[in-house]
Structure 1
């Protein structure tokens, strides 16, 4: 793929992120994105023949941006593993608030296609790997007592996501999306993390 094509796709993705983050996936049209990039709709469809392909790249780009922020925080931190994980939860919560419409819609109809389902599974697996690295660091530093780091990290990621899912159920029940529960979800995740780490800490 040529650099011109890459640059054009980056412009399209950036415009799509702005639109999707404000209006969500379903209310944003390909025409609007084409107008924002100042290209024709036909030109846009040359790069992205269907909207789901663009959504795929948007989710990938946003996730990559978050991973870079996450990695930067990890590399610069000299905190305990517990405090670092709490800081990472803060980072993720702030990122979700910033991209709230993407977060809400990634659980909706747009991820029913196989490519998007595969992408979401890959993102999930990467998150487990990242947590496993943190847990292993805690074990190596004699902060944590974990026999099976991979199993513990998988359980922890599922638990955090379950808390997040419960947190958005009020949106599903009321039909009125709200950002106020993001802070509640964060606090519950921190409480659960504290509860878990009290049991995992080296005595």
Structure 2
């Protein structure tokens, strides 16, 4: 039975239950009643924390996005070579995509335009800071020879990887049924273009 003694803990339990349902059945097919049944609580208890299903979708997206960034930041702490870390980031996002593609939540959010431009920029800005740190590290260690500021290099690199994803999806903003083959196609192209990009940074006049 859900109580309000610890709101953060209760909210996390709801998100965990919703995420489990979304992974197995898809976000679009999951109802608030089913989540309430899994938690053995009333539907009203769910609406206390999430007034509508859209709010729950966004909260789940924030939860898994935070998990992605935590994984990437942990990799930064262990960084020994910038090149390896850049390629590891591609692998991390590939594993993330394969794990959560059944959620359907990305498709629903894009279709209903739930994410504001400010939220999207916040996500990209956070990723950009991670890339900047990698390029700065590589330059400081003599692995790279940057001719431009690391922050500018990070922006270019980020745009290139995003462009590869766009091309891999044939220019479609929403993928109807993403699968592991789709993500494998993206990661293969991203690794190839990343290696070309990295080789250019290693060139010394």
- TM bin, normalised by shorter chain, reads 0.7 to 0.9
Q: Residues 179 and 123 of structure 1: is their aligned pair in 2 closer, same or farther, counting only changes over 3 Å?
A: same
**Root-mean-square deviation (Å):** 2.4
For residues 41-120 of structure 1, the aligned pairs below 5 Å read: 41-78=43-80, 80-102=81-103, 105-109=105-109, 112-113=113-114, 117-120=117-120
Matched residue, 1:6:
8
- 2:131 aligned residue: 131
Q: Which runs of 5+ in 1 are unaligned?
A: none
Which protein has the bigger helix share?
Answer: 1
Aligned pairs for 1:174-185 (under 5 A) are 175-185=176-186
State the Cα distance separating 1:109 from its structure 2 match: 4.0
Gaps of 5+ in 2: none
Change (3 A) 1:169 1:125: same
Counterpart for residue 26 of structure 1: 28
Partner of 2:122: 122
Displaced runs of 4+ in structure 1, greater than 2 A?
Answer: 21-25, 107-111, 116-121, 165-179
TM-score normalized with structure 2 length: 0.86
3-state DSSP of counterpart to 1:90: helix
1:198 alignment partner in structure 2:
199
Is 1:56–1:119's contact at 8 Å kept on the other side of the alignment?
no
